A and B are shown apart, each in its own frame.
Chain A
Amino acid sequence: GAVVSQHPSWVICKSGTSVKIECRSLDFQATTMFWYRQFPKQSLMLMATSNEGSKATYEQGVEKDKFLINHASLTLSTLTVTSAHPEDSSFYICSARPRGRPETQYFGPGTRLLVL
């Protein structure tokens, strides 16, 4: 149980295009989903927190118009990197918090984005 999937697992795109990453909780309902960014050999940095049916809360320094987050259902959140540039290349990881277990997050396998 407690499986979180991400799609795609990796993506290469041209500079200026937009990329959408999906995060799904497969066998539980997630009241909250989190999006993280991880640079090579570094820790995870929280980008934003999204609650189902409401606007995402972004961490300081994260551009909300650049990283659009939609949490339309209790099992799906999407992150869209708009007008991607090479500096957006990174490993993006989502996590999902099950209903009734606020202390727990289950992580997806990550999406590697390379912007050329």
Chain B
Amino acid sequence: GEDVEQSLFLSVREGDSSVINCTYTDSSSTYLYWYKQEPGAGLQLLTYIFSNMDMKQDQRLTVLLNKKDKHLSLRIADTQTGDSAIYFCAESKASGTYKYIFGTGTRLKVLA
């Protein structure tokens, strides 16, 4: 079945880089996403990558995809206290309803 796993917690110092990891099991996934959720709020789309790409960079965010190992990562450069939140990865297939399967979420805490 489909399963998306993430580590539960990550703590970094302000100014350092953060790397949040995600593994998935469905090799037919077409799109892989990163969402940010702040306390009591909905999800904010940060970025997404097609499965035929290895890397995507958007300002402080870098997404790396290792399709062979089914591993996705999100690197946040120069992490700020405002980056403290829960980060979810998700995957979907380019068929049917394109429904998302979400990961378990990683709680990022940025220490001043």
Interface, chain A (partner B; CB < 8 A): 4, 6, 32, 34, 42-44, 46, 49, 57, 93, 95, 97, 102-110, 112
Describe A's contact surface by its main secondary structure. Answer: strand
The 9 closest A-B pairs by CB, nearest first: A107-B43, A107-B42, A109-B42, A43-B102, A102-B98, A44-B102, A110-B42, A103-B31, A49-B97
Report the bound CA distance from A57 to B102 in whole Å.
Answer: 18
Report the bound CA distance from A67 to B31 in whole Å.
Answer: 29
Find the A residue at minimum CB distance from B94.
Answer: A103
A32 with B31: CB separation less than 8 A: no
| Proximity string of chain B (23-50) to chain A, C-beta cutoff 8 Å, 1 when within and 0 when not | 0000000110001000011111100100
Of A32, A44, A46, A104, which one neighbours B45 at CB under 8 angstroms? A104
Point out the residues of chain A lying under 8 angstroms from B35, CB to CB: 107
Chain B 82-99 residues near chain A, CB threshold 8 A: 88, 92, 94, 97-99
Report the bound CA distance from A46 to B48 in whole Å.
Answer: 19
Find the A residue at minimum CB distance from B100.
Answer: A105
Query: In whole Å, how far is A65's beta carbon from the nearest beta carbon of chain B?
Result: 22
Known: A43-B105, A44-B102, A103-B94. 16 other contacts (CB 8 A): A44-B88, A46-B99, A49-B99, A57-B97, A95-B43, A102-B94, A103-B30, A103-B31, A103-B98, A104-B45, A104-B48, A107-B42, A107-B43, A107-B45, A110-B40, A110-B41
Point out the residues of chain A lying under 8 angstroms from B41, CB to CB: 109-110
